[in-house]
Amino acid sequence: MRPMDLHSIYPGVMDLKWRAEKRLPRFVWDFLDSGTGTEATKARNRAALDALGFAPSILHGPLDFDLSRDFLGHSFPLPFGFAPLGMSGMVWPGAERILAQTAARAGLPYSLSTVASQSPEDMAPHLGDHAWFQLYPPKKEEIRRDMLDRARDAGFGTLVLTVDVPVASRRERQTRSGLTHPPALTPRLLAQVAVRPAWALGMARTGMPRMRSLDKYTAGREHLPPTEHIGYLLRTSPDMEYVKWLRDNWNGPFLIKGVMRAQDAAPLDSIGVDALWVSNHAGRQFDGARASIEALPEIRSETRLPLIFDSGIESGLDILRALGMGADFVMLGRAPHFALAALGSPGPDHLIDILRKDLQANMGQMGIASLAEVPVPTVLPPI
């Protein structure tokens, strides 16, 4: 299908999301889409973004849009990239490879999760110039060192430590749907797979995914309760000393993901972290948290560190809202996976194109040609 055709059938991220839901087995959809608890924080992420408005500005004549953004010493053609997703390859066969290749072609960052279904070594041939490795903190120092070496040797230049998983979250919808780790195809799940032929055929080609990065550390320790996964066995709850250790042992940009309070910024700055990633993990960790976008302005006013934003981004307008509230860069987790599940390998390219067009359409309404001009949005009163 030509790109123009895709825009007439799937004009927005919502269209990709609806089609993804129709093409994924229920347990996979629930894995991708769910939050934790009653999913109030997930809903709040969306509602708080929707509540941010800009004033239209008129009579600016034709605009020559520049969507580039300088971040961490690089100039990116667009202000966003792909966030890390554990077991990405369960959502769509070959997800990690396709997303890394798409990001590389587009000159955008791609992040690989510690608990992805591909290892750093698997990914090495597919990485572009902006490959980020996301670390869930291994308890044992020897495993920690080994993971950093593997990530660096494979071509990951940036390290991201995720700190918003001090303990496992409960993700009740995921459990209810029958998902286990590793996924066990029970008769109930097989019935869901049987009515999703595109996903089933893809998995028949690649095999059911597992957390390949961890293979070498987990031999003989596979038998865990079904709602826990092998990743939890290896990891610890990090503290500031742990962050310092990583800073001393990683020679490259080092980011902390999952910052939601202004007072956490200064201590992290003082130990040499390069950027903070404001995120509530898409509402998957703590259902008492506020929306990520609500936390962003306070953190912005507290620190000079560059800020990444995620949680709930579904359009170019959302990206503008985040930039206007103080983010320097934006990442997307679910949306690229909706795109993959909806359209297969052309999906992520189409998503990038949707976001590019939507950025321009909304910047045009505001009469601005560059991202540096995005104004601070106002919180609209409820209607």
Query: Binding to ligand FMN by residue 85, rule CB under 6 A?
Result: yes
- Count of residues that interact with ligand FMN, criterion CB under 6 A: 23
Nearer to ligand FMN, 121 or 373 (CB): 121
Query: Binding to ligand FMN by residue 347, rule CB under 6 A?
Result: no
Instruction: Read off the tokens for 361.
Output: 């359409």
- Nearest approach, Cβ of residue 86 and ligand FMN (Å): 3
The neighbouring-strand residues paired with 278 are 259, 309
- Nearest approach, Cβ of residue 318 and ligand FMN (Å): 9
Nearer to ligand FMN, 330 or 368 (CB): 330
Q: Residue with CB nearest ligand FMN?
A: 333
Q: Which stretch in 11-19, 265-273, 298-306, 327-335 sits in contact with ligand FMN by CB under 6 A?
A: 327-335
Q: Which of 181, 281, 337, 350 is the catalytic position?
A: 281
- Nearest approach, Cβ of residue 270 and ligand FMN (Å): 23
Residues between 154 and 213 with contacts to ligand FMN, criterion CB under 6 A: 162
Site mask for ligand FMN (CB under 6 A), range 233-262, x = bound: ------------------------x-----
Sole binder of ligand FMN in the list 25, 37, 81, 84 (CB under 6 A): 84
| Cα end-to-end distance, the chain, whole Å | 40
Nearer to ligand FMN, 281 or 321 (CB): 281
Sole binder of ligand FMN in the list 295, 313, 327, 354 (CB under 6 A): 313
Sole binder of ligand FMN in the list 41, 102, 118, 134 (CB under 6 A): 134
How would DSSP label each residue in 269-307?
Answer: HHTT--EEEE--GGGTS-TTS--HHHHHHHHHHH--S-E
- Nearest approach, Cβ of residue 168 and ligand FMN (Å): 12
How far is 357 from 240, CA to CA, in rounded Å?
41
Instruction: Read off the tokens for 256.
Output: 């902390």
Query: Binding to ligand FMN by residue 28, rule CB under 6 A?
Result: no
Q: Find the helix packing angle between 347-366 and 13-23, rounded to 10°.
A: 150
Nearer to ligand FMN, 278 or 368 (CB): 278
Place of tokens 């956490």: 264
Query: Binding to ligand FMN by residue 377, rule CB under 6 A?
Result: no
Q: Which stretch in 50-58, 79-87, 143-151, 359-367 sits in contact with ligand FMN by CB under 6 A?
A: 79-87
The neighbouring-strand residues paired with 113 are 134
How would DSSP label each residue in 97-142?
Answer: HHHHHHHHHHT--EEEETTSSS-HHHHGGG--S-EEEEE--BSSHH
How would DSSP label each residue in 176-207?
Answer: HTT--SS----HHHHHHHHT-HHHHHHHHHH-
Q: Which stretch in 178-186, 279-287, 354-362, 369-377 sits in contact with ligand FMN by CB under 6 A?
A: 279-287
* CB within 8 Å of 14: residues ≥ 6 apart: 314
- Is the bond leading into 109 cis (omega within 30 degrees of zero)? no
How would DSSP label each residue in 248-259?
Answer: HH--S-EEEEEE
Sole binder of ligand FMN in the list 281, 300, 321, 350 (CB under 6 A): 281
223 is catalytic: no
Instruction: Read off the tokens for 344.
Output: 């297969």
Residue 13: closest CA among 1, 21, 2? 21
Q: Which stretch in 56-64, 189-197, 264-272, 308-316 sits in contact with ligand FMN by CB under 6 A?
A: 308-316
Sole binder of ligand FMN in the list 24, 32, 98, 296 (CB under 6 A): 32
How far is 208 from 120, CA to CA, in rounded Å?
18
Q: Which stretch in 59-67, 210-218, 248-256, 310-318 sits in contact with ligand FMN by CB under 6 A?
A: 310-318
How far is 381 from 51, CA to CA, in rounded Å?
8
Instruction: Read off the tokens for 294.
Output: 């609500």
Q: How many CB atoms lie within 10 A of CB 312?
A: 29
Q: How many CB atoms lie within 10 A of CB 169?
A: 18
- Nearest approach, Cβ of residue 22 and ligand FMN (Å): 18
Sole binder of ligand FMN in the list 20, 296, 319, 332 (CB under 6 A): 332
Query: In a 3-state reduction of DSSP, which class is residue 343?
Result: helix
Binding site for ligand FMN (CB under 6 A): 31-32, 83-86, 113, 115, 134, 162, 257, 279, 281-282, 284, 310-313, 332-335
Which residues are known to be catalytic? 281
